[in-house]
Amino acid sequence: MKYFVMAFEALFINKLRAFLTTLGMIIGVFSVIVMIGLGQASQAYITDQVKGLGAGVLIITPGNPKSQTNGPPGVNTAKTLVLEDAEALERLPGIRYVSPNVFLQNMVSFERNALPAAVLGSTPNIVEARGFKVGQGRFFTDQEARTASQVIVLGHKLAQDLFADTLHRPLGSRVRIGSQRYRVIGILQEQGSGLFGSVDDQAFMPTKTFQNTLKAGKGLNSLFLKVTEEDLLPVVEARARTLLRYRHGLRESEEDDFKIQTQAELLETVSMITRVFTFLLAGIAAISLIVGGIGIMNIMLVSVTERTREIGVRKAVGANRQDILMQFLIESATISLTGGTLGIVLGLGITRIATQAINLPFVFSPLAVVGAFAFSAGVGIFFGLYPANKASRLDPVEALRYE
């Protein structure tokens, strides 16, 4: 107890110095907390989105999983899945719908406004599959999808930007992609960014329209396959595999040229990616925590030198080595714990505000808080140990003589 009083007294004497040293710790802990907080928030969001696909969903992506590096879904370059595959799969029993998706980055323009946007070709059931809400107008229908109508549904922000400074309303207007024109029939509600990029910046049209007009080739980027009952998932997966292998003319010895994942598997993949990402960010942030610790060590070393006489006096009146060691150690621990606590509070506050601002769920992680607190205590003790030990070993006669 007496050591704590001494530590506070000593820190109070050098307020500015103590504050600046504490600031190092605050920033360190703050950045770790914010990084972990944002990482976990996006992880929670992405997980929610994947869960939103529903349990009875298979995701089929082109390309051989073993001969290809892992990446987010939809960026595979292999074009082994075609629209006919989707139609064939739709005829399998136990399937509720098949949603073939194609994707291309393209310039979308209206009058003088031109914007780069992700254009997706899909089927009407993508609305259900990805939980879209239509703000104005409507999504395209099965009829329009079959007949490859030149219609388009715009994301919220894309519609806003595209029709900014024009006298036209988006609905019913025709936007241009390349040389083709598409009638805007609907605008989605604002959704925020997610697993498949920001929906607000995307445009949607029927897959057939996409393939007919945008010359993107026959390949599909992904196929969502919804089964009628979840129990059927393994059976449907096996049948879909057999069917696709047959359609692609694969021999017994050849590997699949596509990849079938269940929602659970996809969940595992994306949460692993985001977890690695979170750790990476937190790891980088932890470097600043170590820098903060070095700051503490530096200031404690200065303090020991400055207070050599004080140490001599204390020893002369009966302080033993342990007393001096504890005094300085608790001083550095006080700096780091104060900094840690403030950093945690500040970090949680900022994470809360930031997640609200970008529409992510706020995830409170007790583990991160306890971890940051323990780590900052550890930093204080670790980096305080050397200066404290140095102080405690001072020879009283030498220390008293020190000028």
Toward other proteins, which CB reaches closer, 2 or 183?
2
3 state SS for 251-319? CCCCCCCEEEEEHHHHHHHHHHHHHHHHHHHHHHHHHHHHHHHHHHHHHHHHHHHHCHHHHHHHHHCCC
Toward other proteins, which CB reaches closer, 268 or 395?
395
Beta-ladder partners of 32: none
- Angstrom distance (rounded) from CA 1 to CA 21: 23
Give least dist CB 1 to other proteins, A.
Answer: 10
Name the region of 279 (left: φ>0; alpha: ψ -120 to 50; beta: rest): alpha
- Angstrom distance (rounded) from CA 150 to CA 129: 22
Q: Residue 137: how many CA atoms within 13 Å on its side-chain side?
A: 21
Give least dist CB 337 to other proteins, A.
Answer: 23
Give least dist CB 306 to other proteins, A.
Answer: 11
In this structure, how many other beta carbons lie within 10 angstroms of the beta carbon of residue 169? 11
- Return residues touching other proteins (CB under 8 A): 2, 9, 13, 309-310, 312-323, 395-397, 400
Toward other proteins, which CB reaches closer, 142 or 395?
395
Nearest Cα to 270, choosing from 116, 77, 45, 89? 45
Give least dist CB 297 to other proteins, A.
Answer: 23
Toward other proteins, which CB reaches closer, 2 or 146?
2
Toward other proteins, which CB reaches closer, 124 or 312?
312
208 and 123 Cβ atoms separated by less than 8 Å: no
Give least dist CB 285 to other proteins, A.
Answer: 36
Toward other proteins, which CB reaches closer, 90 or 323?
323
Give least dist CB 402 to other proteins, A.
Answer: 11
Indicate the helix (H) or strand (E) that contains 68: none
